[in-house]
Structure 1
Amino acid sequence: MSGTTRIWSPVDYSKDGKQVDCLRLPISTDTSAYGWIPIPIIVLKNGDGPTAVLIAGTHGDEYEGQVALMRLSRQLQLHDLRGRVIMLPSLNFPAVRAGRRVSPIDEGNLNRVYPGHAHGTATEMIAHYVTEVLLPMADLVVDLHSGGRSLDYVPCALVRGGKTLSENRKLHDLLDVFGVPFAEFTDGTGGGGNTTLPAAAAQLGVPVITAELGGAATLRRAGSDLAEQGVLRLLKHLGMLPSCEVPAPGPVRLMNGDNMDLFLYADSDGIFEPMVDIGDEVDEGQLAGLLHSIEAPHSPPTEIVFVRRGMVAFKRHLALTVRGDCLCGLLEDVEPSPDIRR
């Protein structure tokens, strides 16, 4: 990561008021030599106070968070706010417009290229802008996801563990306030490791709440409602919306998903027939699903079994499967460390 961002915008982050515009992502093509792609942005600022950066559309086929931020962009009133809210409902706009997980411009997965590059691909430029411009302003980032077209997720939230006792306590409090049913402290195992937004934010000590709110490339109202209410609770918790009325959060079950034994993968091609649903409690040795060979339809299907006990956090939504596809993932209960208890 080096150099000044190439993305520009008329938005003035230091200015009080409500600004609705876009970031300009430069692009040069056969039909537009000096063009740019819009990334919609809404900024509300009312005096001094914390800054919350709210993001959705990191992956274009994940819709609950996008709609939740669209609603919030219309709902939030400047006179109720103390501080600054920056909303990007479709951060990877090329992927959102295409309805794809990755960008159709460069096949980039935005949550696998952080901290990005100022003079890199389109996706790397977006990651660099977030890292260099938005994160240094932020007191909190909320990054809203779901499973996209390939996965279906139980509503849950995850945070990357902090560097200090005080950071971990703060993260634990934020998870409780956000209020989705299941929460996880993670080191990135099974995901993007050090190439994600939370990893970049951790280098600056900025807390990030990442939420998974549904999946299957559809829109579940329950997931978008959870996102909307959770964000409002967080803003109120930070003192940014002191008069906001929002339902109290439900209980949050702290879990772990960092062991690779909690993930099941296909070892051959076929059609996956799941035998469990998200949210199910399963035991070691229990049947997770059957993998039917399309090349040898007369052969018995391969049985996929869990090697640990836990709760089904996500499962593959697409039936057609190739070797290496992730079929299922578990979360397991953990006792919160005394270091992160309030």
Structure 2
Amino acid sequence: MTGTLITSEVDFDVEGKQAGYLRVPHSTHRSAYGWIPVPITVIRNGDGPTLVISAGVHGDEYEGQIAVATLARELDVADVRGRLILLPMVNFPAAEAGCRVSPLDDGNLNRLHPGDPKGSPSEMIAHYHEEVILPLADYAVDLHSGGTSLIYPPTLLRGPPHSPEEEVGLAKLTEAFDLPYAWVFTGGGGRGSTARTAMGAANRKGVINVMAELGGAGCVTPEVLRQAERGLRRILHALGMLPDHTPDAARGTRELHVLGSVYADGAGVFEPLKTIGDDVAEGETVALINHPDTPGQAPDAVTSPHGGLVLAMRAMAQVRRGDALYQIARDAL
């Protein structure tokens, strides 16, 4: 028994296509016996793997929400082999508010796993995700973006393999998603993972899984959305779950190791001197922090502690000390 208080309107074991909500109990002034609706679609058709595709873990990340909702709308039972579980807005309160964290409890769902079955709404959702949903899965894909504050190119994230089976599975997901970049972690993962993320939860449950960063800046970019939707169908086909789909030719993925971030050392207006994909030398000036509030004050130069290329950058011009301006990576060896 998981001890969860969340109930599901869908039956994960029934053949066919079902759509409904996970009901997260939430008692408030305006609704004493109310519940929060987390949308879910399950498509099951015969033998085959179970794939969980999630988005909206952070509520201000939108390409994934659209891509998962599109699959839920467009795919029918006859299209699928196996079981597909689609969660377009896992942290529904955050997604409804368009915020990274839930307005109900300030919960960052990607920092709360394994959650608490009797905790705050975000903790209950994290627990249900880890203890009810993921144990059903053979594979999982969790879709993110840079949210309001960052911009990423379409980038797959994955950990190192811990078994021959996982090595084959991660390679299959990476090649099928076929995003321009892959951020490959050099450590961690596995069933002993202590990460409080959705990826950590999947690892603890033995699920072969990847994550993706897809755009950001609090908006939807058509080309990034197209790459996300294309990649998800390619994954389904590669797993044998979408047999009638005909994938186009692979474009190739550049694998990277992330070295670290470049931070603002004071408040002001961020003037980028580099953009995504640019090469950066260690010690090079990559940005200026301007001070238009102080007449005559020169901008502060920001230098990179790393040499490599820009994988992600800040989307917002106003900065404070400690804000990440860039993420720097290098080619995986």
TM-score interval, normalised by the smaller of the two chains: over 0.9
Query: Where does residue 231 of structure 1 map in the other structure?
Result: 232
* 1:296 shift after superposition: 4.0
Using a 3 Å threshold, how does the CA distance of structure 1 residues 115 and 83 change in structure 2: closer, same or farther?
A: same
Deviation at 1:252, TM superposition (A): 0.7
Question: What is the Cα deviation at residue 111 of structure 1?
Answer: 0.4
Query: Match of 2:113, as an amino acid?
Result: Y
Q: Secondary structure at the match of 2:40?
A: strand
Q: Helix, strand or coil for the counterpart of 2:262?
A: strand
Aligned-pair distance for 1:299? Answer: 2.4
TM-score, normalised to structure 1's length?
Answer: 0.92
Secondary structure at the counterpart of residue 323 of structure 1: coil
Indicate if the aligned counterparts of 2:184 and 2:332 stay in contact, CA closer than 8 A. no
Shift of 1:130: 0.6
How far the C-alpha of 1:311 sits from its partner, in A, is: 1.7
**What's the CA shift string for 1:204-223, capped at 9, x where partnerless?**
22122111110100101111
> Aligned partners of 1:101, 1:275: CA distance in 2, in Å?
27
Q: Is the 8 A contact 2:286 2:304 kept in 1?
A: yes
Gaps of 5+ in 1: 336-342
Report the CA distance between 1:298 and its aligned residue. 2.8
What amino acid sits opposite 1:242 in the alignment? P
Partner of 1:23: 22
Structure 2: which 5+ runs fail to align?
Answer: none
Distance across 1 between alignment mates of 2:316 and 2:152: 13
Which amino acid in 2 is paired with 1:90?
A: M
One of 311, 315, 318 as aligned partner of 1:320 = 318
Q: Does the CA-based 8 Å contact 2:49-2:137 persist in structure 1?
A: yes
The answer to whether the Cα contact below 8 Å between 2:172 and 2:238 also exists between their aligned partners in 1 is no
1:121 corresponds to which residue? 120
Q: Determine if contact 1:61/1:99 at 8 Å carries over to the other structure.
A: yes
Counterpart residue number, 2:273: 275
AA in 2 matched with 1:151: L
Tell me how large the CA RMSD over aligned residues is.
Answer: 1.8
Number of residues paired by the alignment? 329
Deviation at 1:193, TM superposition (A): 7.3
Q: Secondary structure at the match of 1:37?
A: strand
Q: Deviations over 1:273-320 (max 9, x none)?
A: 111111222222222111123664532211111222222111111111
1:114-153 counterparts in 2 under 5 A? Answer: 114-153=113-152
| Deviations, residues 161-203 of structure 1 (Å, cap 9, x unaligned) | 23234423431232111100110222689xx971111111111
Give, in whole Å, the separation in 2 of the partners of 1:99 and 1:186: 29
Letter in 2 for 1:155: P
Secondary structure at 2:201's aligned position in 1? helix
Q: Structure 1 counterpart of 2:330, which letter? A: E
**Hey, what does 1:307 align to over in structure 2?**
305
- Tell me the residue number matched to 2:100: 101
* Cα distance in 1 for residues equivalent to 2:288 and 2:232: 39
Q: What's the CA shift for 1:46?
A: 0.5
Give the equivalent residue in structure 2 for 1:181: 180
Q: Deviations over 1:32-58 (max 9, x none)?
A: 111101011111101121111011111
Give the equivalent residue in structure 1 for 2:46. Answer: 47
Give the superposition deviation at 1:72: 1.2
Q: Distance in 1 between matches of 2:145 and 2:127?
A: 23
Higher mean alpha-carbon deviation, 276-285 vs 175-184, is at: 276-285
Measure how far apart 1:228 and its partner are.
Answer: 1.1
Aligned to 2:206: 205
Change (3 A) 1:333 1:81: same
TM-score of the superposition, structure 2-length normalised? 0.94
User: CA–CA distance in 1 between the matches of 2:146 and 2:261?
Assistant: 15
1:17 to partner: Cα distance = 0.6
1:254 maps to what in 2? 255
C-alpha separation between the residues in 2 aligned to 1:30 and 1:47? 45
What is the DSSP-based 3-state SS (H/G/I as helix, E as strand, rest coil) of the residue aligned with 1:65? helix
| 1:334 maps onto 2:332 in alignment | yes
Task: Tell me the alpha carbon deviations over residues 130-152 of structure 1, each in whole angstroms, 9 at most, x when there is no partner.
Answer: 10011100111111111111111
Are 2:2 and 2:132, in contact at CA under 8 Å, matched by a contact in 1?
Answer: no
CA contact (8 A) 2:157 2:211 kept: yes
Kept in 1, the 8 Å contact 2:279–2:308? The answer is yes
